[in-house]
Structure formats: structure tokens, C-alpha cells
Amino acid sequence: MPRSGISGTLRSPQIDVVIDTGNPFLNRTVDGFLKIGAVGACKVAAEETFDCLHRGDVSKRKVEHALKKMCKEGAYWGTVAGVYVGVVYGVERVRGRSDWKNAMVGGALSGALVSAASSNHGDKIVKDAITAGAVATAVEFANYLT
Amino acid sequence: MPRSGISGTLRSPQIDVVIDTGNPFLNRTVDGFLKIGAVGACKVAAEETFDCLHRGDVSKRKVEHALKKMCKEGAYWGTVAGVYVGVVYGVERVRGRSDWKNAMVGGALSGALVSAASSNHGDKIVKDAITAGAVATAVEFANYLT
């Protein structure tokens, strides 16, 4: 007896944009900006979609607000990631080694940079640098484990 | 003419604690807890040391406060990391593949778990799950770049 059924697969879209600036440092920074900026924008999109579904109303104003927020947060995530990736690459070149200390130093430096750029000063920059360094180290360790 | 000089090297302490529970899932979780808990505790130690140096006074009460905070924050970081590492391992086993989607799903699941355990509910858990999933994905992408 013949049987019939439906089989389907769900594939995530594969988009890979590669921009070659001719400089490995810039390449990484741009790549980090684009990829992680996209993740940040997707996060806002998911959040706003959830909000709309939850409240049950979608208006033009809300979509515009969501788009603006996506651009803003995407740019922020992208910038932070670009700075981090660039700084880690720089630290790796200077130290000539590739270990978790690069992540720590890179995290601390980029934390301080981002904090200074957000017009914090003094103590706050140092604290942000410590936190960012610790988070980067923790992420590096978590990498080895997963 | 003989020349004299001083040469020294600075080495970071190498401590590696391995606890074998006989179960790969538990091993990873315990490893994540210990390693990333230690990073969290070091972060608090660095912050408190900076605070003491900045204000210029060290009292017994402050050291006690710092130690308590180290334990508390270390345990929190460790728990979050343990849950994340364990969940990602579980997702990998279930999916049978190892790519960035594991990090996304693992991040979202552990974000929801940690959020629920922190006695949040409803919307807040979903938002935390979205944020954690996005952060885990961003970190996974940043990994490929550094």
C-alpha cells in the first residue's frame, strides 16, 4: 500500500557579504561591524515583533519606530564588535601569540574606548574596562568548553 | 667589556582544576561554573582593588565586603556559564550539528532559564531570552573573526 506524506526542511537564509579593503585589520573591523550589527538589528526586530504580537496592534508609527531602533541598536552593536575585533587583532599582532590574554586585553581596551566615546569619564571608564575585560575573558573560556 | 643587566619574565599563574563526574554534560557544566565563576570573582577583586586604591583607604570591613561580593558575583557568573555551556551541549547532541544556531538556541534557552530563576515572569523572560540568544549569536560570530 503506498503511503504519502509531506516532508519539508527549514533553511535559514545564507547571506555572506565580504568586503575586501586590502587591509586585514580593516577587513576584520568591517566584517565585525556588518555581522554583529545585523545580529543587533535582528534582536530588535524580534523584540518589536514580540511586542506587536503581544499587544495585538500594528501601526505605521510603531513600524517606523522599530526600524529606527533597529538601525540605532544595530549600529551600536556593530561598532562595539568592530572595535573589539580590531583591537584583539592588534593585540595579537603586538604580542605575537593567540591566547585568552588577547581577549582580556582587547576587551579591556575596547571597553575603555567605547566607554570614553559614550562620554563617560574617570572612574566609570576604568570600571567599564574591567567589566569588558572580564566578560571577554569569560567568553573566551566558554568557547573552549562549547 | 662585560655587560650586566636584569631580565625578568612575568608569568600568569596556571591553575587547571579538572573534575571528572563521568558524564560529559555534567563535566562541561562544572567546568564552566568553576572557570567562569573564577573570572567573575577576579573581576570583582579588580574593581574593589581599584576602588580602594582610588579612595586610598583599606579597612577590614571593606575587605570583608569585597570577599562577600566576590563569592556572590562569582557564583552568579559561574551559574549562568554552567547553564549556558550545558544547554549548548544538549542542543548540539539533539541537533547533531555544531554551528552558530546552537549558540543562538542555547543562549535563548539559558537566558529564559536564568530569567525565570531570577523570579521574573511573562514578558520579561521572553525579552531576556531574545537578548541572550542575540548576545550568544554575536559572540559566536565574533569568535570566527578573532
Least Cα separation, residue A3 to chain B (angstroms): 27
In chain B, which stretches have pLDDT less than 70? 1-17
Contact (CB, 8 A) for A83 and A114: yes
**Three-class secondary structure of residue A51 per DSSP:** helix
- Please give the residue of chain A at the shortest CA–CA distance from B36: A138
**Where on the phi/psi map is residue A140: left (φ > 0), alpha (ψ -120 to 50), or beta?**
alpha
Out of A39, A102, A142, name the one closest to residue B32 (CB): A142
Least Cα separation, residue B88 to chain A (angstroms): 7
The helix (H) or strand (E) run that includes residue A97 is: none
Q: What is the pLDDT of residue A108?
A: 94
Establish if A103 touches chain B: CB-CB under 8 angstroms: yes
Angle between helix axes B123-145 and A24-55 (nearest 10 degrees) is 170
Q: What is the pLDDT of residue A24?
A: 82
Q: What is the pLDDT of residue B8?
A: 60
Cβ neighbours of B143 in A, within 8 Å: 143
- Look-up: residue for cell 567589566? A131
User: Under an 8 A CB cutoff, do B126 and A50 touch?
Assistant: yes
Q: What is the pLDDT of residue B112?
A: 93
Q: What is the pLDDT of residue B4?
A: 62
User: Under an 8 A CB cutoff, do B12 and A85 touch?
Assistant: no
Q: What is the pLDDT of residue B67?
A: 93
Q: What is the pLDDT of residue A120?
A: 81
pLDDT averaged over 10-residue windows placed end to end, chain A, 146 residues = 58 65 84 91 91 83 91 93 91 89 92 89 89 91 80
Q: What is the pLDDT of residue B105?
A: 93
Q: What is the pLDDT of residue B58?
A: 81
Percentage above 90 pLDDT, chain B: 49
